[in-house]
A = this chain, B = another copy of it.
Amino acid sequence: MTTDPGLRRLRPMGFTPEIKDALTAGRLGHLATLNPDGSPQVSAVWIGLDGEDIVIGHLMGGVKTRNIARDNRVALTVEASGSNPIGMTNYLIVYGHGRLVEGGAPELLQRLAQGYLGPGAMFPPMSNPPAGHVIHITPERFGGVGPWTS
């Protein structure tokens, strides 16, 4: 059910409307990074868009941010609505490189909380949260199951 990444169609930069929909539907992103020993690390994250980047906010330093600072190759999956003709649920794979930007995490998380938690939600639920980091992922290739691979 997975074709060779090398054979997947390379897309020009920029999100198609379908990709943009998948990335802004309020679904969790599953972000894979590389641990110091080269093993895969994955975690589920809130995702947003900033121009042509996918953005992820982190209040505290964590495994993901340390991993990206050391080796910035990442992959991210997000489930999407619909399915293909044989019933496989649509999902988007994004391959790219991450870039850490200091600060801005509370503002991004507050914006994303409106979609992930609901309108009017306050997140992070604390006063004076740390500025944290924003991970920017510039997509280089898309895959998965859905209109982005047809």
Interface residues, chain A, CB within 8 Å of chain B?
1-5, 28, 30, 32-35, 38-45, 58-59, 62-64, 73-77, 79, 86-87, 89, 91, 93, 95, 113, 116-117, 121, 123-125, 143-145
Contacts and interface: CB of A to CB of B under 8 A. Distances in A.
B40 A33 contact: yes
A91 B145 contact: no
B42 A77 contact: yes
A76 B4 contact: no
The oligomer's copy count stands at 2
A117 B38 contact: no
Cβ-closest 10 pairs across A and B: A32-B40, A30-B30, A32-B32, A39-B73, A42-B75, A44-B91, A2-B62, A40-B75, A2-B43, A87-B117
B42 A30 contact: yes
Given A43-B2, A44-B89, A44-B144, A30 B77 contact: yes
